Amino acid sequence: MQTPTKTTAHSVYTLNYHIVFVTKYRNKVLTGAIEDHIKEQMPILCERYGWEQLALEVMPDHVHLFVSAPPTTAPVTIAKTLKSILAVSLFKTFPTLKQKRFWGSGLWSDGCYYGSAGTVSAKTIAMSIEDQRSKPA
């Protein structure tokens, strides 16, 4: 996957981030309709904020996102924004999720993994994300 160079009013960039965030206590709840909800919402959220979703895989207890964003947006901002909006959306759509597993806390663990990639390794990262489903848990 060769990601094209993008431009803003004052910059030219190729910034791609591999972001992984996990559920609190590694609870394996991101399956079925919840997984589908995340896969439906993620591209909408990315587009709303001016980011491009390059690859996405939702595992039972974590999410792999490969995203391109302008240099004015820090990767931590991307993760915080998506985690916050997705948690609110998931708890609203699936109220039993909060009651059963996350009644005293948020949906996501505080930390994240952040990796960066330019055009050279973008294909490797995208293939790695797509291969997540075939790896044993």
State how far the Cα of 63 lies from the Cα of 84, in Å rounded to an integer: 14
Summarize the confidence of residues 107-128 as an average pLDDT: 81
State how far the Cα of 9 lies from the Cα of 17, in Å rounded to an integer: 21
Helices 75-93 and 32-49, packing angle to 10 deg: 140
- The sign of the CA dihedral 39, 40, 45, 51 is positive
- Domain 13-134 = CATH 3.40.190.170: no
Q: Between 97 and 76, where is the model more confident?
A: 76
Q: pLDDT tens, 51-83?
A: 999 999 999 999 999 999 999 999 999 999 999
* CB proximity list for 125: less than 8 A, separation 6 or greater: 16, 18, 55, 66, 115, 117
Q: Is the pLDDT of residue 120 over 70?
A: no
Q: Where are the domains of the chain?
A: 13-134
Using 50, 70 and 90 to split pLDDT, how confident is the model at 47? very high
Q: Is the pLDDT of residue 24 over 60?
A: yes
